[in-house]
A and B are shown apart, each in its own frame.
Chain A
Amino acid sequence: KAGVTQTPRYLIKTRGQQVTLSCSPISGHRSVSWYQQTPGQGLQFLFEYFSETQRNKGNFPGRFSGRQFSNSRSEMNVSTLELGDSALYLCASRYDQGGYGYTFGSGTRLTVV
Chain B
Amino acid sequence: KQEVTQIPAALSVPEGENLVLNCSFTDSAIYNLQWFRQDPGKGLTSLLLIQSSQREQTSGRLNASLDKSSGRSTLYIAASQPGDSATYLCAVRPRFDGNQFYFGTGTSLTVIP
Contact = CB atoms under 8 A, between A and B. Distances in A.
A58 B43 contact: no
A41 to B, nearest CB: 9
Contacts of B104: 42
A33 B100 contact: yes
Nearest to B98: A56
For the residues of B in contact with A, the DSSP-based class is: strand
Contact of A103 (B42, B46, B103, B106): B46
A58 B101 CA distance: 11
B46 A104 contact: yes
A59 to B, nearest CB: 10
Contact of B100 (A42, A48, A98, A107): A48
B44 to A, nearest CB: 4
Contacts of A43: 89, 103
A104 B100 contact: no
